[in-house]
A and B are shown apart, each in its own frame.
Chain A
Amino acid sequence: MSARSRIPNLGGAKAFILHRPHATTLALSRSLSAIGLVPVEAWPELPAGGLAADFVFFDADLGFDEQFPWRAGEAPMPLIALIGSEAPGRIEWALGQGADSHLVKPVGGSGVYSALLIARRSFDARRNLAREVESLKARASERQTIVRAVVALSEGGVGEEQAYAQLRTLAMSWRVTIEDAARRIVDLKTGGADERSRCL
C-alpha cells in the first residue's frame, strides 16, 4: 500500500494562465490566489518564466503548438486544459499537449482545487512511469553484455550457472546494477577499458 498523501501544500506555487484576458482568467486567478498560488496571466505566448512554472493552464479553444517552449506532450510541469468548445479536434489537440486535467469554461470558483491536485498526481505518475520505462529499456538493451560477461567469466572452466552467480556477487560488492557489472567485466576482458568504464 502506498503512503497516504499529506496536506497538499500549494502555497507559493506559480501557475501560468495561457489564455487571452477574459472573465475566465479573472475567476481562475481569484481561485488560485485563494488557494495560495501565484497566478500569472499570459497570451499568446508563454514567457520564458513559464518554464519554471509549477502549473500551466492553457486555452484549449484558441491554443496552438507554438505557444509552448517545448514539444507537444513534453511539458515539464502539469498542464490543465481550459475547455470551452467541446469540439473533438480541440479536445484532441489538448490531449496532444499532454493535459493532465481540465476545467470546463466558464470557470467559476469550484473545480480549480481538484483540477490542480488531479493534474499534479497524474503528471507525477506519468513522469515516474516514463522514468521507469527508460531504465527498463536501458537494462533490456544490456542483455547481450550480460551474456558476454557470463561467457567471459566461465572461460576459466566454471559452469555458466556459477559464472552468473559470480557476476551477481561482483555487482553487489561494487554496488552497481548487474548490467553495469557486466559492462565492466566485458571491458576488462577485451582490454578496451573505455571512457565509460573508467568513470564507473
Chain B
Amino acid sequence: MKTRIDIGILFSRSGPYRLLAEASYRGAMDAIAAINADPERRIEIVGIVRDPAGNTDRYASLCADILATSSARHIVGCTTSWSRKEVIPNLEKAGGTLWYACPYEGFEASEHVVYLHACPNQHLVPLLAHVLPRFGSRAFFVGSNYIWGWETNRVARDVVGDVGGTVLGERYLPLGDTDVARLIEEIRATRPNFILNNLIGPSSYAFFRAYGDLCRSDPAFSPRTCPILSCNLTEIELPEIGPSANGHLSVGPWFAASTTDAAPSPSASSFYAAAHSAVSVLADRLTDEIRGGAGAMAFSDRTFKTRLGPIRIDPNTHHTSLPVRIARAQDGRFEVIEAEDGLVAPDPYLSRYDPARLMGRRTLRVVS
C-alpha cells in the first residue's frame, strides 16, 4: 500500500514567462506520474496545483493556500527570483520548503529553499570566461527590470572589469515590454564585442528578432563577431525567436542531445529537466523519511540519479553540484561547444571567485 503525499506545484502557465514555467510544470508533473506508476515505489504523490498566472503578487497567497489547505510541506515552483523571494516568508512561517529549479542570480541560501538549477559560478562566470578571450571585452548589458537582471549584470560588470574590459551600456526593460528599438540603436552606436542578455520572455524574443534585423543590415553584428549571451535560454524558447537565435550562446546544466532529427519536444529544456529532478530527489527523500530515515532535508554528500544526470546537493547551501555546458543555438537546438569536466560545485555567494583563475581555467575541454 502506497503512502499518499501532497506536494504543492506553483507555476504560472500563462503570463510573460509562461514557456519557462510550462516546461517546469511539465517536468514536475511527468516526474510525479512516473513515480506514481512505479510499483516499486512506496509513495504516491498528489500534486496540489496552483497557478499565479504571471502575477507576482499572487505567489505568496497561493503558497500560503497550499500550505494551509493541504498536507503539503514541499512546493515545487516559482520561475522568477522576484516570486521566489515573495514566498520565502510564508515557507518560514509554516516550515515549508520550496524546490526551486530555475537558474538564478545567487547570493541567497535559505534553509527553506532547495536550489536545483545553476547559480552564477555555474552559468554567468563560465560563459564570460568562454567569451571574453574569444570575442573581446567590450560589453553591453540588457535585462528585464528586476532582481535577476540587476544582480546578474552587477556580477558581470565585476568580471568584465577584472579582465580590463569596458561596459558600454546597461539597459533595462519592464517585464513584458517589447519596445527594443532604443536598445538596438544604442548597441549599433557603441559597437560592443558581445551583449549579455538578461531579458526574459517576450522582451527577450523581441530583442533577438530586432538584433537579427540589425545583423542583416550590418554584418558587424553577426553572432560570429558579436554574439548575444544568455544564462537562461533553452530549447523551448527557440521557436518563439526563430532563425534570429542562430549562432547565439547560452549556458546551462543540460541541453538536448542533437543527434536526432525529430523536432525538439517540449521536454527539451533544462527547466523541464531540473523540475523533473527536483521531484525525483524530493520523492527519494520523502521515501527515506517514511522509512524512518534521516528526513527529507538530509542530503549528505550522496549522489542522486536524475534527468540532469547524477547530481549532488550541498547540505550547507541547499544548492546543487551540476554539469556546466556552453552551447550555440542552431535551427531550434543547441550545439554544446564547451563543457566543464564533471560536476561544478555551487558557490552561491561567489566566495571562491578568483579573477586570476578566470581566464586560465584548465578544467575546460573543447568538445567541438
Mark A residues whose CB is within 8 Å of B.
4, 6-7, 9-12, 27, 30-31, 33-37, 108-110, 113
- In Å, the complex CA distance between A109 and B155 comes to 23
CB–CB A113/B158 < 8 A: no
Q: Which of A10, A30, A109 sits near B349, CB closer than 8 Å?
A: A10
CB–CB A36/B110 < 8 A: no
Residues on B with C-beta less than 8 A from A9 are: 350-351, 353
Residues on B with C-beta less than 8 A from A7 are: 154-155, 158, 350, 353
Would you give the shortest CB distance from A165 to chain B, in whole angstroms? 42
Q: Is B352 an interface residue (CB 8 A)?
A: yes
Residues on B with C-beta less than 8 A from A30 are: 111, 316
Q: Which of B110, B161, B351 sits near A110, CB closer than 8 Å?
A: B110
Known: A11-B351, A36-B347. 13 other contacts (CB 8 A): A7-B154, A9-B350, A11-B352, A31-B109, A33-B316, A34-B317, A34-B348, A35-B109, A35-B349, A36-B352, A37-B351, A109-B92, A109-B110
CB–CB B111/A36 < 8 A: no
- In Å, the complex CA distance between A147 and B144 comes to 62
Size of chain B's interface in residues, with CB distance under 8 A? 21
- In Å, the complex CA distance between A103 and B350 comes to 23
Q: Is B138 an interface residue (CB 8 A)?
A: no
Residues on B with C-beta less than 8 A from A4 are: 157
Q: List 10 A-B contacts (CB under 8 A).
A: A7-B350, A9-B353, A11-B350, A11-B351, A30-B111, A35-B351, A36-B347, A108-B92, A110-B88, A113-B107
Residues on B with C-beta less than 8 A from A11 are: 349-353
Q: State the total of A-B contacts with C-beta under 8 angstroms.
A: 49
Q: Is B112 an interface residue (CB 8 A)?
A: yes
Residues on B with C-beta less than 8 A from A109 are: 92, 109-112
* Residue on B nearest A6 in the bound complex, by CB: B158
Q: How would residues 326 to 345 of chain B score, 1 for a CB under 8 Å from any chain A CB and 0 otherwise? A: 00000000000000000000
CB–CB A34/B92 < 8 A: no
Residues on B with C-beta less than 8 A from A12 are: 351
Residue of B107, B110, B349 most packed against chain A (CB within 10 A): B349
CB–CB A10/B111 < 8 A: no
Would you give the shortest CB distance from B320 to chain A, in whole angstroms? 14
Would you give the shortest CB distance from B313 to chain A, in whole angstroms? 13
- In Å, the complex CA distance between A36 and B155 comes to 17
* Residue on A nearest B159 in the bound complex, by CB: A7
CB–CB A34/B158 < 8 A: no
- In Å, the complex CA distance between A156 and B155 comes to 63
- In Å, the complex CA distance between A86 and B214 comes to 61
Would you give the shortest CB distance from A143 to chain B, in whole angstroms? 43
Residues on A with C-beta less than 8 A from B349 are: 10-11, 34-36, 113
- In Å, the complex CA distance between A84 and B351 comes to 29
Would you give the shortest CB distance from B315 to chain A, in whole angstroms? 9
- In Å, the complex CA distance between A33 and B319 comes to 13
* Residue on B nearest A35 in the bound complex, by CB: B349
- In Å, the complex CA distance between A56 and B111 comes to 23
- In Å, the complex CA distance between A10 and B92 comes to 26
Residues on A with C-beta less than 8 A from B155 are: 7
Would you give the shortest CB distance from B94 to chain A, in whole angstroms? 14
Would you give the shortest CB distance from B207 to chain A, in whole angstroms? 26
Residues on A with C-beta less than 8 A from B154 are: 7
CB–CB A34/B353 < 8 A: no
